[in-house]
């Protein structure tokens, strides 16, 4: 594999960093040459490129859609687990869902990765309905989106190996909501996956076609964007929320300068943001 010294020149790194931010919003700092080299080394070798500039040249040519998709897939971080951070899902079950009684419930998982988040949401809905017969009679829909096409294929299959299934998922929920395919593979049950629809989406582009939502989960993805892009996305998410709808962010993410758009709801532990009417 090509080393970062040979392939990732200073000028080439700047060009690639600018390209990546333009096409998908990911903002790399000045010292991530090693990350680019490790994730794109195989692509550079396969294409016969000795320098990152040659890759950028190829990406900017007409007809580079497949190469662009491969590069974005390689540069996307897909770290996830079941019920990540726990309290957002507790807030969803104990505070948010009891308020959703009349219209069909629509939830958006805006960085769904390999599916753990939307399927965790589906489990929460199932648990909530089991304790409140007749609740959510109008139905529920979870729209799960991600920029990484390879990851979406995995998520749609709903199959997980023994290591992935154990990350944040207790044995009781595993038995209740998964079917064992073989000694090392489990598949989410149809009752859970039926309410989840996966779509490819780049958050820097318009998502108005998705419609309106009662709840949006946008967790642990905004940290990769610039402040300006993050604010733009959050304003557009506000527009995608129904009046009084809820927005969940990651534990290290916070709203800044958007007090006209959202109220902070303290839940002890955790917080959620409620869309103000505008």
Grade residue 12 by pLDDT with cuts at 50, 70 and 90.
Answer: very high
Arithmetic mean of pLDDT, 8-19: 93
- Confidence (pLDDT) at 241: 97
Query: Is residue 172 annotated as a catalytic residue, yes or no?
Result: no
State the catalytic residue, choosing from 17, 146, 214, 219: 146
Torsion, CA 182, CA 183, CA 189, CA 195, rounded to 10: -100
- Confidence (pLDDT) at 2: 47
Please say whether the structural domain 4-75 has been given the CATH code 1.10.155.10: yes
State the catalytic residue, choosing from 39, 51, 176, 236: 39
Burial of 272 (0-12, 13-18, 19+ CB in 10 A): buried
- Confidence (pLDDT) at 138: 87
Arithmetic mean of pLDDT, 87-112: 93
Query: Is residue 146 annotated as a catalytic residue, yes or no?
Result: yes
pLDDT tens digit sequence for 197-214 = 999 999 999 999 999 999
Res. 25: pLDDT tops 60:
yes
Res. 100: pLDDT tops 80:
yes
Which tokens in the block code for residue 151?
A: 């990851």
What global pTM score does this model have? 0.91
pLDDT tens digit sequence for 229-261 = 999 999 999 999 999 999 999 988 888 889 999
Q: Which CATH number fits domain 87-275: 3.40.640.10, 1.20.1440.230, 3.40.50.150, 3.40.50.2300?
A: 3.40.50.150
All CATH 1.10.155.10 domain ranges of the chain, comma separated, are: 4-75
- Confidence (pLDDT) at 1: 43
Arithmetic mean of pLDDT, 141-152: 95
């Amino acid at each position: 594999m090509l080393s970062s010294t040979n392939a990732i020149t200073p000028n080439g790194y700047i060009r690639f960093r600018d390209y990546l931010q333009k096409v998908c919003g990911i903002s790399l700092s000045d010292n991530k040459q090693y990350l680019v080299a490790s994730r794109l080394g195989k692509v550079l070798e396969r294409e016969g490129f000795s320098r990152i500039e040659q890759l950028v040249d190829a990406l900017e040519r007409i007809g580079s859609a497949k190469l662009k998709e491969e590069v974005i897939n390689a540069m996307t971080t897909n770290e996830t687990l079941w019920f990540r951070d726990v309290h957002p899902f507790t807030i969803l079950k104990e505070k948010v869902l009891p308020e959703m009684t009349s219209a069909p419930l629509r939830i958006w998982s805006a960085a769904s990765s390999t599916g753990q988040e939307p399927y965790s949401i589906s489990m929460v809905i199932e648990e909530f309905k089991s304790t409140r017969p007749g609740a959510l009679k109008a139905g529920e829909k979870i729209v799960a989106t991600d920029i990484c096409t390879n990851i979406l294929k995995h998520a749609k299959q709903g199959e997980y190996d023994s290591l992935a299934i154990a990350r944040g998922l207790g044995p009781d929920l595993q038995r209740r909501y998964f079917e064992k395919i073989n000694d090392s593979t489990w598949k989410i049950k149809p009752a859970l996956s039926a309410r989840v629809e996966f779509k490819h989406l780049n958050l820097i582009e318009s998502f108005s076609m998705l419609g309106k939502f009662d709840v949006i989960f946008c967790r642990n993805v905004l940290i990769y964007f610039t402040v300006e892009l993050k604010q733009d996305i959050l304003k557009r998410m506000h527009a995608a929320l129904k009046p009084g709808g809820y927005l969940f962010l990651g534990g290290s993410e916070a709203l800044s300068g958007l007090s006209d758009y959202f109220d902070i709801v303290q839940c002890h532990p955790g917080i959620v943001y409620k869309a103000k009417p505008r």
